[in-house]
Amino acid sequence: MPLDLAVANNALAGLRPYPVAVTTVDDGRTNGLMSLSGGSAGIVPEAPRATVSITKYNFTHDLILDGGIFVIHVLGGAPE
């Protein structure tokens, strides 16, 4: 069976990395950063998932580990 390129492109479109802002808070300390590695991690439309990479040498990484919470802010384009 030949590969349907339109279907493959649609499935892979959400997997490309894009910039996101990541914020967190722990014990009254807040921090955030910009990551260029945000992307789709789910393949089931009813259970969307996202992924982001944060280096362990970053202060935000430590706050996320200690506090156990973070928010990924997906950045939109400029309004028309």
Summarize pLDDT for 10-28 with one digit per residue, the tens. 655 655 678 889 999 999 9
Say how many C-beta atoms besides its own lie within 10 A of residue 31's C-beta: 17
Tokens (6 digits) for 18: 């894009």
The radius of gyration of the chain's CA atoms, rounded to the nearest angstrom, is 16
- Per-residue pLDDT band for 62 (boundaries 50, 70, 90) equals very high
Q: Write the single-letter amino acid at 62.
A: D
Cβ atoms of 14 and 39 within 8 Å: the answer is: yes
* pTM of the predicted protein model: 0.72
